[in-house]
Structure 1
Amino acid sequence: MKLSIHHETHYEYSAALRYALQSIRLTPQASAHQTVLDWALHAPGKLFAERDGYGNDAHTWSLARRTYRGAIRAGGSVETHASPRLVDAPGVPPPQMYLRPTALTPQHALLAELAREPLADGADAHGAMALARKVRERVPYRIGATTVHTDALEALALGAGVCQDQAHVFIAACRAQGIPARYVSGYFYAPCAPALASHAWVDICVDVAERRWLSVDITHGCLMDERHVRLAVGPDYAACLPIRGIRSGGGEESMRVKVEIRPV
């Protein structure tokens, strides 16, 4: 499937912004799952490309002048191939790095118990989908129940969350069983549910020695398919934020995000 994607983030400030520095992870990489046909990224300052510690394409920019507004735009065309089984390219961290807990994916007996039966025979498609069903049952999708700071254990206790929370619970449960798992940020083509255009799911390592992964969408109860476009991976949401940064001045900040995806 060929998808056209347009992503805009607009900022407005109640006082003059004096300085800003941002890191952006809004550039998809080519893989067995997707071919990037064209892509462009625009920011208020000059962009500097880099490869972050998790192998993602990232950009940084800075601004040192007074302003009251700004915008970041990303977009282009990507062809997806519905290939949920991926092998890491050379130079990325080994899967074992994705065994360690983080602030958003803590260790806890309740999370370990969640994956005990589904992953009893190790990591495979059957076990991964069984765990995805359990997570979806325990943490059904509901907007407004959590925040970006809610960790996996808190989401499990609340009994509701969004794709980010479902991914964190799944990841923490996998790691508790000694199976590497990582967070995936990206886009999802859902014409009837535009709120899911910016999406999150999980890679579970099915072969550590060969660095092979299976990509699982907990929210939709499916493996990664032609509707998914990958942007970045990391141990959790905080590690692969689409946009993060610091600023000086600006007073109160308001932000508007618009994501449009359509088939070509």
Structure 2
Amino acid sequence: MKYKIRHKTVYRYAEPPRRSVHELRLAPRSGPLQTVRQWQVSAPGNLSEARDGFGNIVHSFTVAGPAHTLVIEASGVVEVTPPAAGGAPLFCDAPPAGEARVSPLYYLGGTPLTAAPPEMVRFAAPYLAAGHEVPALLALADGIARRVRYAPDSTDVGTSAGEAFALGSGVCQDQAQVMVACCRALGVPARYVSGYFYDPAAAALAGHAWADICVDADKELWCSVDVTHRCLSDARHVRLAVGRDYRMAAPVRGVRHGGSGEQMAVEIAIAPQR
């Protein structure tokens, strides 16, 4: 599948900040599961581009003066190429020659957002008791989807996996972080994925999140699992960034000095292309 995507973020302030610094992970990369045919990012000021240790494309910019409105736009065309139907649903995500990235084993380390309390470990252990092959991972994802029910607006970006697990509800971000936390707690490297999910029946599209699970660290083989939809990633998933948790893969992050009354609006449009 090939998609034309547009992602627009608008910040409005009652009192404008004196200065703000922003970091964007809004540019998808070509890799084993997708090919970026074209992409552009626009924002106020001069954009600088770099790669982080996870392999993500990162754009940064600074707004030096007061501004009541700040608009960030990203758009382009991405062709999704998931593992062949009927074949092994694994993909190799080793870095290209000349690029340094963290080892898959780095994703064993916990973060405040993905720490697993004892009750979460007890919940997950039976699913992975015999190993972490794909059927076991899908069974764990199904168990998490039933344990942490999808409920819009029940959590926020600061909610940890442990908090969502205790609450019993959350959104795709929370379900993905619970999956990541469960796998890591049982010795399996896992990372958080931010991106898009194409649903032609959706009244409004939003960003999505799922989890990559490393099934062989030496060969850098991964399996991509969408807890919300209880499936492996497929032709509906477009990847933006990966990280140890939401904060490290967030599409937009920033720090501002001064200002008040911040409001954010996000518009995402995805359309198939022939």
Q: Normalising TM by the smaller chain, what interval?
A: over 0.9
Give yes or no for contact 2:205–2:269 (8 Å, CA) kept in 1: no
Seen in structure 2, the aligned counterparts of structure 1 residues 146 and 66 have a Cα distance that, compared at 3 Å, is: closer
Q: Hey, what does 1:10 align to over in structure 2?
A: 10
1:189 counterpart = 2:189: no
Return the match for 1:219 from 228, 231, 236. Answer: 228
Q: Hey, what does 1:199 align to over in structure 2?
A: 208
SS at match of 2:175: helix
Q: Hey, what does 2:21 align to over in structure 1?
A: 21
Q: Hey, what does 1:41 align to over in structure 2?
A: 41
> Structure 2 counterpart of 1:45, which letter?
G
Give yes or no for contact 1:190–1:197 (8 Å, CA) kept in 2: no
Quote the Cα distance in structure 2 between the aligned partners of 1:122 and 1:205: 12
Quote the Cα distance in structure 2 between the aligned partners of 1:63 and 1:107: 38
Return the match for 1:99 from 108, 116, 139. Answer: 108
1:150 counterpart = 2:159: yes
Q: Hey, what does 2:145 align to over in structure 1?
A: 136
Give yes or no for contact 1:166–1:218 (8 Å, CA) kept in 2: yes
Q: Which moved more, 1:211-220 or 1:120-129?
A: 120-129
Give the alignment of 1:71-110 within 5 angstroms. Answer: 71-83=71-83, 85-90=90-95, 91-110=100-119
1:81 shift after superposition:
1.1
Q: Hey, what does 1:56 align to over in structure 2?
A: 56
Give yes or no for contact 1:10–1:72 (8 Å, CA) kept in 2: yes
Q: Hey, what does 1:66 align to over in structure 2?
A: 66
1:194 shift after superposition:
4.7
Return the match for 1:114 from 109, 123, 130. Answer: 123
Quote the Cα distance in structure 2 between the aligned partners of 1:212 and 1:92: 15
1:23 shift after superposition:
0.4
Seen in structure 2, the aligned counterparts of structure 1 residues 195 and 119 have a Cα distance that, compared at 3 Å, is: farther
Seen in structure 2, the aligned counterparts of structure 1 residues 87 and 47 have a Cα distance that, compared at 3 Å, is: same
Q: Which moved more, 1:73-82 or 1:144-153?
A: 144-153
Q: Which moved more, 1:177-186 or 1:61-70?
A: 61-70
Return the match for 2:268 from 248, 251, 259. Answer: 259
TM-score, length basis structure 1: 0.96
Quote the Cα distance in structure 1 between the aligned partners of 2:144 and 2:242: 20
1:42 shift after superposition:
0.1
Q: Which runs of 4+ in 1 moved over 4 A?
A: none
Quote the Cα distance in structure 2 between the aligned partners of 1:107 and 1:161: 16
Q: Hey, what does 1:238 align to over in structure 2?
A: 247
Q: Hey, what does 1:165 align to over in structure 2?
A: 174
Give yes or no for contact 1:22–1:245 (8 Å, CA) kept in 2: yes
Q: Which moved more, 1:11-20 or 1:254-263?
A: 11-20
TM-score, length basis structure 2: 0.93
Give yes or no for contact 1:48–1:61 (8 Å, CA) kept in 2: yes
1:155 shift after superposition:
0.8
